[in-house]
Amino acid sequence: MKRRHFIRSVSAASLGGFAVRGFGNPLLGPVFDRAAEDRVLVIVQLYGGNDGLNTVIPLDQYDALSVARSNVLIPEGAVLPLQGLPATGLHPVMGGMQQLWNDGKLTIVQGVGYPDPDFSHFRSTDIWETGANSDQLLDSGWTGRYLNLEYPNFPQGYPNATMPDPLAIRIGGPITIGLQHMGVAMGASIYNTEDPLNLTNNHFTDAVTADCKGSKLDFVRTVQQQTDLYGNVIQAAALPNCNLSTLYPTGNEPGAELARALKIVAQLICGGLKTRIYWVSIDGFDTHAQQVVQDDHTLGVHADLLKGLSDSIHAFQDDLHLLGLEDRVLGMTFSEFGRRIKSNGSGGTDHGTSAPMFLFGTKVLPGMLGQNPEIPANAGTGTNLAMQYDFRSVYAGVLRDWFCLAQGEVDTVMLDTYQPLALVDPAGCLNTSVHAANQGAGTSLLEVFPSPFTERTTVRFQSEGGRVLLAVYDGEGRTVRQLLNRDMPAGEHTLTAELDDLPAGVYYCRLQQGARQQVRSMMKVR
């Protein structure tokens, strides 16, 4: 790891607390012979496209939801309340996430997506994992590029004294493109910790030829030998006394597989691995049909998935707390897209645009970023939720405030400039523990009037000074007009949006200025 990043990533307080807690627990004495101090990111991938409207429920839009999705809608009285947010609640099975919210360990980011969305599972997953634009193909993932920045030349010269452990670990599946860089897997894939990752059993003794074939063979052998070494250290780190929580789902309970993966993550962090990123997943969110039990919408396939997700993350956080490790770990969920506003005739929901993301841990800036999505009174089968935040701004915030990258380094990893969102307390990265970048939350920064309109409308917005982006999106999330992309002085501004060439329908105007981002619906008639 680069020295400057190490210095910025680890505060004296976190190091001191880690050592005291670790050695204070007699069960964990052997764990800290090679204790890791670096921050850890745990990514939880929700395969299939999660229905955000039945996950984080906008109670202030309940009447419109009742019209649009009556055959899947959660009963209003069953929704779990969120302290301080009377207009927003969680699915009734998400008691674990509700507890994290109450404990100040949960952040909800509303309306996360990307412009011009692709509704293919495979393509949209690639976009989320690589950080690409919808018309761009990349051969590296955003976490792969980050790890390459921190550990250049991998896999040559690894493992070594500075980094003896896998850079990343994928549990329960193959290495995704998100963890690759230029065709190189930047981590190891495991399904359990009981069997070593033994491919070679011993070192090769025959020489390789000094040509292209020999060079490639040497690379393959290097990777195989690394796999053996990494398998050994993973086995050694997976100590049985490194799971203290009794809350994990087991057996046939919803989320048992995800819980098993997160238990392994807790074991390996506790066991002293210096691994920076862990990647786990839960499948089944492609709920086109029979998403709920018709006699009880609080039950069904989606409910089981959300219960498993919520219970597993809550148990994992409890485990980290009992192990004295929770200040070192940040968790984040994502899914390749959300679902449509209007349900279908099969008791399910179809591929949509934006959806909420969760970040969890003791170092998140707790609360909800963004607003409840607006639900049109006449939502049709093609009506989608408006994007409030670009997912790459979430990644940029994690890179800046959790992994302590400078803005230029964030831009290098993300291959462009995306305004980082303030999601994590940057103490240890910056010289303050109070982040002011979420100013504007709960205040009106953007107005559109009149609405409805026929040919043009007026956009009024607030700027704090600096680059301002204003764009108009249609109901499918496609960019139909860029209104502004330049530096603006601080204060209130207005502009006229000439939209006479657009067909009638519902559109969304989106303001972006760093973490100050808001969206407003508008309707064109005739």
pLDDT given at position 19: 25
Check if the beta carbon of residue 489 is closer than 8 Å to that of residue 396.
no
* SS3 (DSSP) at 467: strand
pLDDT given at position 211: 64
Check if the beta carbon of residue 188 is closer than 8 Å to that of residue 166.
yes
Check if the beta carbon of residue 336 is closer than 8 Å to that of residue 369.
no
pLDDT given at position 216: 53
pLDDT given at position 206: 56
158-194 residue pLDDT tens = 888 889 999 999 999 999 999 999 888 999 999 888 7
pLDDT given at position 507: 86
Encoded tokens for 308 = 């498993």
pLDDT per residue rounded down to tens, the chain (526 residues): 443 343 333 322 222 222 222 323 333 433 333 334 589 999 999 999 999 999 999 999 999 999 999 999 999 999 999 999 999 999 999 999 999 999 999 999 999 999 999 999 999 999 999 999 999 999 999 999 999 999 988 888 888 888 999 999 999 999 999 999 988 899 999 988 876 344 334 444 556 566 665 555 555 445 555 555 688 888 888 887 899 999 999 999 999 999 999 999 999 999 999 999 999 999 999 999 999 999 999 999 999 999 999 999 999 999 999 999 999 999 999 999 999 999 999 999 999 999 999 999 999 999 999 999 999 988 988 889 999 999 999 999 999 999 999 989 999 999 998 989 999 999 878 644 333 444 344 567 899 999 889 999 999 999 988 889 899 988 778 889 999 999 999 999 999 999 999 998 888 888 888 767 788 888 888 7
Long-range contacts at 500-503 (CB < 8 A, ≥ 24 apart):
500/454, 500/455, 500/456, 502/474
* SS3 (DSSP) at 395: helix
363: amino acid identity, one letter:
K
pLDDT given at position 236: 87
Report the distance separating Cα 473 and Cα 519, nearest Å.
10
Q: What percent of the chain has pLDDT over 70?
A: 83
pLDDT given at position 162: 85
SS (H, E, C) 1-70: CCHHHHHHHCCHHHHHHHHHHHHHCHHHHHHHHHCCCCCEEEEEEECCCCCHHHCEEEHHHHHHHHHHCC
465: amino acid identity, one letter:
G
Distances (CA, A) of 299 to 56, 281, 295, 346: 16, 22, 9, 16
Q: How many CB atoms lie within 10 A of CB 383?
A: 19
pTM: 0.80
- Report residue 139: phi and psi, to 5°: -105, 20
- Classify residue 253 as left (phi > 0), alpha (psi -120 to 50) or beta: beta
pLDDT given at position 6: 34
Report the distance separating Cα 258 and Cα 49, nearest Å.
17
pLDDT given at position 16: 26
Report the distance separating Cα 456 and Cα 524, nearest Å.
9
Report the distance separating Cα 435 and Cα 441, nearest Å.
13
pLDDT given at position 12: 26
pLDDT given at position 366: 96
